[in-house]
Structure 1
Amino acid sequence: MRLHRCFAAGLIGLASLASAHAVPVLLISIDGLRPADVLQAEQRGLHLPNLRRFLSEGSYATDVRGVLPTLTYPSHTTLLTGVSPDKHGIAGNLTFDPANKNQQGWAWYASDIHVPTLWDAAHAAGLSTANVHWPVSVGAQVDWNLPQIWRTGLPDDRKLLAALATPGLLPPLEKELGPYADGIDETLAGDENRTRFAVKLLEERRPAFMTAYLASLDHEQHASGPDTPEARRTLERIDALVGEMVGAARRVHPDGVVAVVSDHGFAPVQEDVNLYAPFIKAGLVTVKDGAVTDWQAMPWNDGGSAAIVLREPGNAAVAQKVQALLEQLRGDPAYGFERVLDHAQLTAQGGTAQASWFVLFKPGYEMGIKPDAPLPSASHYRGMHGYDPAWPQMRATFLIEGKGVPAGRNLGAIDMRDIAPTLAKSLGVTLPEAQGKPLFSP
């Protein structure tokens, strides 16, 4: 990773801080896993023996308050850094691209992270690292890296992933396990495939710190909604995949630590909000032949919320015009605004300073993706996140067990920024920039 000079020297010094009693850590993310799915599994009719085992053998949070916005990429970067998006720099899933020149490019690149990650801290301490499909991992300082990236879903994507993975890592794995899943594949079959590769990396490389990401629960909850039979079946299968990875981790590191996290919760959604149209009508965005040719202010889609970015933040006339437009839209129930945060309120909650306002939608509403869609429109998804992190429905999951972890301890409600420092403590490293604190001492 290209590190800022202000902390590069500090990272080098982390090697001397690593504890002689460092404990290997496996970090598994289940995108979209809600706390109650595990804590109330029996009441919900869910069979999750592997996830439920953490409740008795390890420690767990009743809920994790996430970041603004409650999206995958900002959240996963917080999980590795212990800081909010305004500090780590990953402000959304998609890069801000008002003219769509980047063709729906996501925030794939670890070079965009502005603070040290757990990967960096482990590397500086001389610990080996591995990764399977964690968001924002392209170019990360990881010894054995299968990063998350895709473009079109066509065969060239496989060449791209192979080129960006650790040189020489993928061919022997594929020779034994078959083709690695396409980056764009978020299905249960994709998770099953990547789990086989994660298990093999654990067994053969024995990394001291490994990250692994499972996408299919999020994918299914977007498609069919939370609490649907399809989502439940997906989660029960994911529980088995977690069991496979935990089993491999225990075989190679019997005294290691395993943590399971998620990035956000989920809520049902019914209405798409075309937030582009009023900006176009107000002359703040210029469109010709379906393409943006000029803009003064643009919404940045975050699902259950939207950042509003000014091209010239110091232009008082444009800012006043946008402020008046947002006030008008907030008064129209068709737009489903719950709240509009100004710049100071946004940054105070750890949101990106790149935006001047931040729109939070009401339950049931999401930002649409088509600038010519009518209002109202039926939602293109059945489930969504990205809403206010204060909502109970947006709370995430934290489970942890292993050496130094108290058994059967309820950690209560925690801040997502506390997770990375907690894992760093087990690894015997530190994260000097972290805003959170360790939840217990191993």
Structure 2
Amino acid sequence: MIHQFNKKRTWVKKVKGIFPTLTYPSHTSIITGQYPAVHGIVNNTKLQPRRQSPDWFWYRKDIQSMPLYDIAKEKGLTTAAFLWPVTAGSKIDYNLAEIFPNRIWTNQVLVSLKASSPLFLYEMNKKYGKLRHGIKQPWLDDFVTACAVDTIKNKKPDLTLIHLVDMDSMRHRYGVRSPQAKEALHRLDKRVAKIIQVTKDTGTYPQTDFVILGDHYQINVDKMIHLNMLFAQQGLLHPLG
């Protein structure tokens, strides 16, 4: 992938993550330039102890700082986003928001339509929905890449945000240096190559700045400590109310 770029590039070998080094706080820091204490996205999920599946910080309204895509919009620029965290309900022109149903009375189609640009989502799903198997990986990243390539080619947005999750999913499931994670890295390389190529095909490559990064790293986990289990065993945990 890197060899596709000319000599005008910067390679940063070490980055200090924000705290907490979770996907949603990290992505929001990337897009606002602020720490979680300022932008307000302090976790992936909201604090909802009574709910078995708490809501995530899916919606733009939860961000307390100005994200880059809003600044671009104010300047009259066109924006697009593909599964970029915390963009549901935003004013992004072409938005496929990252969200999933966590209530028994809803489904993926309904929550995605509400959170995204509905006509754009319908158009992309009609064209490339056959690539998906729900929200499972690696098929979801294939769908996202196809949608991003199509949008860059036909809509030519000034700012495009793309969140590819295949490798992160495989690392969580099989381990950081597992064969599955390495295979996902090769798939990621090919997807990024497609995105770069479409800018060359449309003649926008010389004017395009590519920022390729990860939101955090991770290490393998062999054991987990659930303090609530210990508290319950010791009779120290009681239901609220």
TM, length-normalised to structure 1? 0.50
Which of 15, 21, 29 does residue 64 from structure 1 map onto? Answer: 15
Q: 94, 97, 104: which is aligned to 1:144?
A: 94
Letter in 1 for 2:221: V
2: distance between equivalents of 1:235 and 1:242? 11
In the superposition, relative to structure 1, how do residues 156 and 243 fare at CA in structure 2: closer, same or farther (>3 Å)?
same
Q: How big is the shift at 1:160? A: 2.0
Aligned partners of 1:273, 1:246: CA distance in 2, in Å? 43
Which runs of 5 or more residues in structure 2 are unaligned?
Answer: none
1:73 to 14, 21, 24: 24
Whether 2:211 is the aligned partner of 1:259: answer: yes
Query: Secondary structure of the equivalent of 2:185?
Result: helix
Aligned length: 238
**2:161 matched to which residue of 1?**
211
1:118 matched to 2:68? The reply is yes
1:272 CA displacement:
1.0
Determine if contact 2:131/2:142 at 8 Å carries over to the other structure.
no
CA distance in 1, matches of 2:82, 2:235: 45
Question: Contact between 2:55 and 2:102, CA under 8 Å: does it hold in 1?
Answer: no
Unaligned ranges ≥5, structure 1: 1-49, 288-292, 295-442
Name the structure with the higher strand share.
1
1:174 to 125, 143, 151: 125
Q: Match of 1:385?
A: none
CA contact 1:131–1:212 (8 Å) conserved in 2: yes
Per the alignment, residue 189 of structure 1 pairs with 139
1:128–1:143 contact (8 Å) kept in structure 2: yes
CA contact (8 A) 1:181 1:194 kept: no
Q: Aligned to 2:175, which of 225, 241, 246?
A: 225
Listed as ranges, the matches of 1:24-103 within 5 Å are: 50-51=1-2, 53-54=4-5, 56-100=7-51, 103=53
Cα 1:223–1:153 change in 2 (3 A) is farther
- Go from structure 1 to structure 2 and tell me whether the alpha carbon gap of 1:124 and 1:282 turns closer, same or farther (over 3 Å shift): farther
Q: Distance in 2 between matches of 1:228 and 1:55?
A: 31
Code of the residue aligned with 1:146 in structure 2: it is: L
Are 1:164 and 2:164 an aligned pair?
Answer: no
RMSD: 2.3
Rg comparison, structure with higher value: 1
Provide Cα deviations, 1:79-123, integer angstroms capped at 9, x if missing partner. 10001110010111111112226x332111110000000011101
Question: Cα distance, 1:250 vs. partner?
Answer: 3.2
C-alpha distance in 1 between matches for 2:24 and 2:110 = 23
Q: 1:130 to 1:284 in 2, by over 3 A?
A: farther
Q: CA, structure 1 residues 80+282, in 2 after alignment: closer, same or farther (shift >3 Å)?
A: farther
Aligned-pair identity in percent equals 28
Equivalences for residues 124-135 of structure 1 within 5 A: 124-135=74-85
What is the CA–CA distance in structure 1 between the aligned matches of 2:222 and 2:26, rounded to whole Å? Answer: 24
Could you give the per-residue CA deviations for residues 221-270 of structure 1, whole angstroms, max 9, x where no partner exists? 01110111111011001100000011113333232111111111120110
- The alpha-carbon distance between structure 1 residues 92 and 56, as it changes in their structure 2 partners (threshold 3 A), is same
Higher RCO, 1 or 2 (CA under 8 Å, sep at least 6)?
1
Cα deviation, residue 202, structure 1: 0.8
Matched residue SS, 2:13: strand
The alpha-carbon distance between structure 1 residues 278 and 202, as it changes in their structure 2 partners (threshold 3 A), is same
SS of residue matched to 2:12: strand
1:167 maps to a residue whose letter is P
More helix per residue: 1 or 2?
2
Is 1:272 paired with 2:233?
no
Distance 1:286 1:158 in 2: 38
